[in-house]
Amino acid sequence: MGSPASIDTSGLRNLTDPALEQIVAKLEAGERLDRVDGLAILNSQDLIGVGRLANAVKEMRSGPYAFFVLNRQINPTNICVISCKFCDFAAKAGDDDAYEMTMGEILEKVREPIHEVHLVGGLHPTWPFEYYEEMLRAIRRANPTVQIKAFTAVEIEFFSKLAKISIEDVLNRLVAAGLDTMPGGGAEVFSDRVHDALYREKMGAEQWLEIHRIAHSKGIPTNATLLYGHIETHEERVEHLMLLRDLQDETGGFLSFIPLEFQLGYTNLVARQASALDGLKTIAASRLLLDNFPHIKAYWVMLGEETASMALQWGADDLDGTIGEEKIARAALASSPLGLTAHNMLKLMREAGRVPVQRDARYRALTLFPPPPSPTHWSQRGARDVTAMIPSKIDPMIADTGAVSLENEELYSWDLAGISPDQLAERGTLARGDALAAYDATGASLPTVPPAIAESEASR
């Protein structure tokens, strides 16, 4: 799924930063970038040049496509036994803002049209490990086809201590209960200095990497993250990326990397939030250094919609998903919406010049969304087409009737780079009607867990 490869650098000329010229020479030769290169990218004042470099690598890996998943994030509780200085989400039992979702409430969020459930939360002091196993089983019973991405490495270690069993046994039991993949949260920054200053009670780099190593050895794909924009240095960001690259060389088990922009919230750790420019350079550095990672995500929840859309031209090729209701960044006063409609997701991708592809949690390509018959945004219209009207019966925010199903093709995201959108459309099957209407619908038109199932599961 990933290895250093030479790319087409014919368009990478007229760079204003000499350090970037040296990176171009390495890319042309198929050489890996090193720590010095990573720092050069983060410190460069040639933002456009940095973006062009990262975009060339992105195009080589995934062509014109950008990916997303119809998903639902569920945070079962914010009650947590540890306290991290950067976290506004966690609460202690008895706090006014502490909450615990019932099994019925969890199942009510497992809606029929989704392909992924993303399950992460606090380290609850009294819930037994068996309760988390049953949570996965209940989700699987309520929605047998949904893929479950659940529990960070921090939670896995906590379960091991709760149940007094090994990490291997924890993962075996979770897979038996329905686990498909693992998220990448809890990594924060692989720096002893930052760890001691901000999250001393939480695991450090060695333990996080080891748990993901074990997961990969069991065939469990995972993601990886970096929390940036607080007290970390550029050197620490680069070191974090290099440690992830080393583990990916060893296991090949990471599906994607997600830079997470620190949200100021009420922590007062820093005076101001990381800029959009810093975010774009961090994403570009990630794409250029992590030459063995299939995907780099622009996580719109923390970046904001506009910056995330821009990032699709700075090395990112994935916007994550529709989310539904994310509480962790919201607790830190993130200004992004609680969730995005699937049609808004398409809009962000198309405005970045990308061809949207709906995927599942393991990056199997499910649906291609070719360009619509009429432009949906002023930036997509030519000089003589400024006043062009969209056909009256096609509202681009509601309907997308040209979708092509790829579910019978067994294609994964990394298979698409050499296939043009037209060729891909020919291999698929034209979907009838609006392929996303069921997800974006509201009220009774959106299937939910039948009441009988919810009541039954709530009593378990």
Any domain includes 11: yes
Q: Which one has a higher pLDDT value, 276 or 266?
A: 276
Statement to judge: residues 198 and 295 lie in one domain: yes
Statement to judge: residues 162 and 268 lie in one domain: yes
- Give me the sheet containing 318-321, strands edge to edge: 318-321, 65-69, 355-359, 365-368, 404-405, 429-430
Write down the pLDDT at residue 37.
98
Any domain includes 173: yes
Any domain includes 394: no
By residue range, what is the domain housing residue 15?
7-50
Statement to judge: residues 196 and 264 lie in one domain: yes
The answer, yes or no, to whether residue 394 has pLDDT greater than 80, is no
Write down the pLDDT at residue 82.
79
The answer, yes or no, to whether residue 448 has pLDDT greater than 70, is no
159 sits in which H/E element:
helix 153-163
Mean pLDDT confidence for 156-177? 97
Statement to judge: residues 14 and 95 lie in one domain: no
Any domain includes 389: no
Statement to judge: residues 90 and 40 lie in one domain: no
Lowest mean pLDDT among 203-212, 228-237, 320-329, 390-399: 390-399
Write down the pLDDT at residue 233.
96
Write down the pLDDT at residue 451.
32
Question: The domain that contains 349 carries what CATH number?
Answer: 3.20.20.70
From residue 117, alpha-carbon distances to 71, 376, 391, 443 in Å are 6, 30, 36, 20
Distance CA 234, CA 45 (A): 14
Write down the pLDDT at residue 3.
44
Computed over every residue of the chain, the mean pLDDT equals: 83
Write down the pLDDT at residue 270.
66
The answer, yes or no, to whether residue 289 has pLDDT greater than 90, is yes
Predicted confidence (pLDDT) per residue in 324-342, tens digit: 654 444 344 334 444 567 8
Any domain includes 427: no
pLDDT band at residue 447 using 50, 70 and 90 as cut-offs:
very low
The answer, yes or no, to whether residue 362 has pLDDT greater than 90, is yes
Statement to judge: residues 218 and 279 lie in one domain: yes
Predicted confidence (pLDDT) per residue in 46-69, tens digit: 999 999 999 999 999 999 999 999
Backbone angles phi, psi at 429, to 5 degrees: -125, 130
* β 355-359/365-368 pair status: antiparallel
Distance of CA 40 to the CA centre of its chain: 26
Residue percentage of the chain with pLDDT more than 90: 62
Any domain includes 430: no
Lowest mean pLDDT among 112-116, 393-397, 398-402, 417-421: 393-397
Predicted confidence (pLDDT) per residue in 116-159, tens digit: 999 999 889 999 999 999 999 999 999 999 999 999 999 999 99
pLDDT band at residue 199 using 50, 70 and 90 as cut-offs:
confident
Statement to judge: residues 223 and 117 lie in one domain: yes
pTM score of the predicted model = 0.85
From residue 126, alpha-carbon distances to 98, 158, 163, 177, 209 in Å are 14, 12, 12, 20, 27
Write down the pLDDT at residue 158.
95
pLDDT band at residue 443 using 50, 70 and 90 as cut-offs:
very low
Write down the pLDDT at residue 434.
58
Please tell me which of 143-152, 267-276, 379-388 the model is most confident about, judged by mean pLDDT.
143-152
The answer, yes or no, to whether residue 357 has pLDDT greater than 50, is yes
The answer, yes or no, to whether residue 408 has pLDDT greater than 70, is yes
Predicted confidence (pLDDT) per residue in 66-92, tens digit: 999 999 999 999 898 877 776 776 778
Distance CA 404, CA 432 (A): 9
Lowest mean pLDDT among 243-252, 329-338, 397-406, 408-417: 329-338
Q: Domain count of the chain?
A: 2
Statement to judge: residues 181 and 299 lie in one domain: yes
Statement to judge: residues 277 and 331 lie in one domain: yes
Any domain includes 444: no
Write down the pLDDT at residue 149.
97
Write down the pLDDT at residue 144.
94
